[in-house]
Amino acid sequence: MSDTQVILYRDVKKGLLVALWFMFLTFPIMVIKVNPIDKIIIWRWQNMFLVGGASFFLYLFSQIFLRKRKTSSQGDQAAKPSRLPFQQALITESKFFIPALCLFGLFWLSFPWLFSTYQTNIMITALMYVVLGLGLNIVVGVAGLLDLGYVAFYAVGAYSYALLNTHFGLGFWTVLPIGALLAMLFGILLGFPVLRLRGDYLAIVTLGFGEIIRLILENWNEFSQGPSGISNIARPGFFGIDMSLDAAISYTYYLMICLVLATIFIVNRLQNSRIGRAWFALREDEIACQAMGIDKTKTKLTAFALGATWAGMVGVIFAAKTTFVNPASFTFLESAIILCIVVLGGMGSIVGVILGALILILLPEYLRAFSDYRMLVFGAVLVTMMVFRPQGIISNIRRTYAIDEDLGQNTVRQKE
């Protein structure tokens, strides 16, 4: 017990090495500053010592923290050898959950009145990523199919609205289902060739697929107007009423809230259904899953198709919100961010993915105060998170069933 509390000599030595390594790594950006006008180099040595000191202490703290956790979790295991995770109780316990939900609901509903248009716009983006995250969560988190080209379906949705609107004058509400269906079609299209692939191979093929879609949009000028993109796309309409920009943004905001709610509702029902169980089983063990009578092909295709559908819908909303689309919005980085949302939030957990999306999208915005170091801090948060909680914010919560046999026959109460 004693050696878990104190800082060992070994840790100090390692900490010094870590500090040295970080000083070396950050040397070019933190220490050297070139002044091109006076043609001189400014050496900011004090920064080097700051970095060294900070990384040394951070290392020591993390060591102490990790060790404490290890011993406490060992204690836990001895005390109660097998229990569903703590969060399960937290989220399934309605007396805790419902008031929190009401509060949240009020906050989200009054958001456009409480904050500026700028803030509302950011929140719309965050909500879009919530839906994208929930969509990708079906594919990656639930069915366990690593899809790195998810942004392709997002692009399909966005461009279907852009093109149908500019060429045929179709309205937002007409294209929303069309975009969703087109994306679904592309999901199935991608699904077929990759049915036999797993893990890394699947990741590479989907990555390629995403890039193909982007390259087509970038190079097929007659079709998509290439890199310059399509502008002057109509904003979402509301029975033909003319809206001011502010009103239009608030309207889009509420639209997104509705979509988020619908998505949560549907994804939740899907996960707790026969299909959802099949997805989870597919993620856990493909061979056992098949041996239990689950059609692998059908299950994978539904996952791809449904995941893509959400991306398509958000794509349409994206095009309507920004009134402009070009291929630069659909790079691999987007796929990576959406994937980060799912992994950070917790694979297969709806609440986790929502939190993940809000953190990942809002954090960089509100970190603007740190100006240049914004992305650095962002990266540090991500790395720390994955080191200390590799299973994501909310990890694998399974539904539990209460079964009582009073009436001689099992009556089943379902807890959600």
The 3 state secondary structure assigned to 26-57 is HHHHHHEEEECCCCEEEECHHHHHHHHHHHHH
Shortest distance in whole angstroms from residue 275 CB to another protein: 5
Of residues 241 and 412, the one with the C-beta less far from another protein = 412
Binding residue (CB under 8 A) for another protein from 82, 232, 244, 371: 82
98 binds another protein (CB under 8 A): no
Binding residue (CB under 8 A) for another protein from 87, 119, 331, 396: 396
- Cβ neighbours of 75 (radius 10 Å): 9
Of residues 120 and 302, the one with the C-beta less far from another protein = 302
Q: Cβ distance 108 to 258 under 8 Å?
A: no
Structure tokens at 145: 């199919």
Structure tokens at 361: 């999208």
In this chain, which stretch among 149-157, 213-221, 253-261, 407-415 interacts with another protein, using CB under 8 A? 407-415
Binding residue (CB under 8 A) for another protein from 16, 50, 266, 336: 266
In this chain, which stretch among 79-87, 97-105, 159-167, 210-218 interacts with another protein, using CB under 8 A? 79-87
Binding residue (CB under 8 A) for another protein from 145, 255, 281, 350: 281
Q: Cβ distance 225 to 233 under 8 Å?
A: no
In this chain, which stretch among 106-114, 210-218, 333-341, 392-400 interacts with another protein, using CB under 8 A? 392-400
Shortest distance in whole angstroms from residue 180 CB to another protein: 14
Binding residue (CB under 8 A) for another protein from 240, 293, 390, 408: 293
In this chain, which stretch among 76-84, 110-118, 158-166, 357-365 interacts with another protein, using CB under 8 A? 76-84
Binding residue (CB under 8 A) for another protein from 93, 246, 295, 416: 295
Shortest distance in whole angstroms from residue 212 CB to another protein: 28
93 binds another protein (CB under 8 A): no
Binding residue (CB under 8 A) for another protein from 46, 110, 273, 384: 273
259 binds another protein (CB under 8 A): no
Shortest distance in whole angstroms from residue 271 CB to another protein: 9
Give 386: exposed, middle or buried? Use CB within 10 Å, 0-12, 13-18, 19+: middle
Give the interface size with another protein as a residue count (CB under 8 A).
Answer: 37
DSSP string computed for 210-248: HHHHHHHHHH-HHHH-GGG-B--PPPPPSTT----HHHH
Q: Cβ distance 257 to 110 under 8 Å?
A: no
Of residues 14 and 277, the one with the C-beta less far from another protein = 277
296 binds another protein (CB under 8 A): yes
Binding residue (CB under 8 A) for another protein from 146, 205, 270, 362: 270
- Cα–Cα nearest to 334, from 318, 349, 348: 318
Using alpha carbons, list the distances in angstroms from residue 336 to 48, 141, 179, 207, 343: 32, 14, 22, 10, 10
Of residues 71 and 411, the one with the C-beta less far from another protein = 411
Q: How far is 314 from 312, CA to CA, in rounded Å? A: 6
Shortest distance in whole angstroms from residue 280 CB to another protein: 6
Q: What is the footprint of another protein within residues 153-182 (CB under 8 A)?
A: none
CA 119 to chain centre: 20
Q: Which residue has the tokens 């190079």?
A: 219
Shortest distance in whole angstroms from residue 266 CB to another protein: 5
Shortest distance in whole angstroms from residue 405 CB to another protein: 9
288 binds another protein (CB under 8 A): yes
- Cα–Cα nearest to 392, from 345, 351, 354: 345
Which runs of E-coded beta strand occur in 97-203?
none
337-339-345 Cα angle (round to 5) = 100
Q: Facing residues of 43 across strands?
A: 32
Q: Which residue has the tokens 């002044």?
A: 35
- Cα–Cα nearest to 140, from 347, 356, 410, 360: 347
Q: How far is 272 from 278, CA to CA, in rounded Å? A: 10
Can you give the binding site for another protein, defined by CB under 8 A?
A: 81-82, 84, 266, 269-270, 273-278, 280-281, 284-285, 287-296, 302, 306, 396, 398-401, 403, 410, 412, 414
